Amino acid sequence: MNLIMRQAYYLFFLAGLVILSSCSSSFDPEVRTGATPQLIDGQPDIRISAIGFYDDDKPVLDVDTDIIYNSLIYSSDEGIYEAGVGIQIQVMSVNDNGDGQLVENHSYSIDVEEDDRSIIESTETINVHNRLDIGPGKYEVIVSVTDKSSRKTTRLSSNAVIFDRESGSSDLTHIKILGIDSDSARAPFPLTTYDIPGRVDSLRFQYYITRPETATADMSINMRLIEFESDTLPPRHMSAVQPSTGSIEYRGINYNRSEVLEESNRTLRDESGTILIEYTIPRPVAGNFRFQVMAQTDDNNFRKARDFSSKSDHYPHIETSREMARPLAYLMGGNDYERLMEINDADSLKKAIDSFWYSNIENLDKARRVIELYYTRVEEANKQFSSFKEGWMTDMGMIYVLFGPPNYVERSLDNYFWIYGYNRGDARQVFRFHRTRTDSDSHPFSHYILLRQRFYHSVEYQKRQEWLSGTILDRL
pLDDT of residue 3: 42
pLDDT of residue 21: 35
pLDDT digit string, tens, across residues 197-233:
788 889 999 998 888 888 888 899 999 999 999 999 9
Does 28 have pLDDT greater than 60? no
272 CB neighbour count, 10 Å cutoff: 13
pLDDT of residue 35: 63
**Which H or E run includes 50?**
strand 46-55
Residue 29 near residue 92, CB atoms below 8 Å: no
- Give Cβ neighbours of residue 127 (< 8 Å, ≥ 6 apart): 64, 65, 66, 189, 190
What is the three-class DSSP state of 160? strand
What dihedral angle (degrees, nearest 10) is formed by the CA atoms of 71, 75, 81, 82? Answer: -70
Which is more confidently placed, 403 or 181? 403
pLDDT of residue 26: 36
Does 46 have pLDDT greater than 50? yes
pLDDT digit string, tens, across residues 281-305:
999 988 999 999 999 887 788 899 9
Highest average pLDDT, of 55-59, 94-98, 302-306, comes from 302-306
pLDDT band at 272 (very low <50, low <70, confident <90, very high): confident
Does 23 have pLDDT greater than 60? no
pLDDT digit string, tens, across residues 307-323:
999 998 888 889 999 99
pLDDT digit string, tens, across residues 158-201:
888 888 877 777 888 889 899 998 777 778 888 888 888 788 88
pLDDT of residue 16: 39
| Arithmetic mean of pLDDT over the chain | 86
Specify the amino acid at residue 379: E
Task: Round to whole Å and give the CA distance between 268 and 271.
Answer: 6
What is the three-class DSSP state of 132? strand
Q: What is the pTM of this model?
A: 0.81
pLDDT digit string, tens, across residues 350-391:
999 999 999 999 899 999 999 999 999 999 999 889 889 999
Phi, psi values for residue 69, rounded to 5°: -55, -45
pLDDT of residue 41: 62
